[in-house]
Amino acid sequence: MCNIHTMKKIPISTDKAPAAIGPYTQAIRVGNFIFTSGQIPLDPSTNKLIEGDITQQTKRVMENLKAVLEASGSSLKNVIKTTIFLTDLKNFEHVNKIYGEYFPDGKPARSTVQVSALPKGAGIEIEMVAVAEESV
């Protein structure tokens, strides 16, 4: 039986994704599972919200998550669950189109919810759970 308290927890960090804007890490690895923190459409080089519509914001979020997963020893192809937070569900179709382009084979399980607000005024935030390529 696996005991979560004795499992090694490895924080993940990369400069190819925005630095955390609070007391958390970009992701954490526990065993072979990677749990990302939610990513909003921040430019990794400036840590500022990008300009643009929900399509551009979604692309930036997915690129940020891709970088975090790669830094953790995983990839988008190993994502098993995502949660998408939107400030306006009217954007669902636009987000769904871009999101789907990042998962051409094997779609992960997913939840999408509307929220009243997101950090820095973002329109979208996504978090993921993935399996690592190799063991720790």
**pLDDT greater than 70 at residue 130:** yes
Q: What is the mean pLDDT of residues 88-97?
A: 97
Determine, yes or no, domain membership for 136.
Answer: no
Cα angle, residue 95 at apex, residues 89 and 98 outer, rounded to 5°: 170
Nearest 5°: phi and psi at 133?
-70, -40
Determine, yes or no, domain membership for 53.
Answer: yes
Q: How does pLDDT run across 49-88, given as a tens digit for each residue? A: 999 999 999 999 999 999 999 999 899 999 999 999 999 9
Count of structural domains within the chain = 1
Determine, yes or no, domain membership for 2.
Answer: no
Banded pLDDT at 3 (limits 50, 70, 90): low
Determine, yes or no, domain membership for 123.
Answer: yes
Determine, yes or no, domain membership for 81.
Answer: yes
Banded pLDDT at 1 (limits 50, 70, 90): low
Determine, yes or no, domain membership for 4.
Answer: no
Q: How does pLDDT run across 17-48, given as a tens digit for each residue? A: 999 888 999 999 998 999 999 999 999 999 99
Q: What is the pLDDT of residue 106?
A: 83
Determine, yes or no, domain membership for 3.
Answer: no
- Domain housing 89: 9-131
Determine, yes or no, domain membership for 94.
Answer: yes
CATH code of 29's domain: 3.30.1330.40
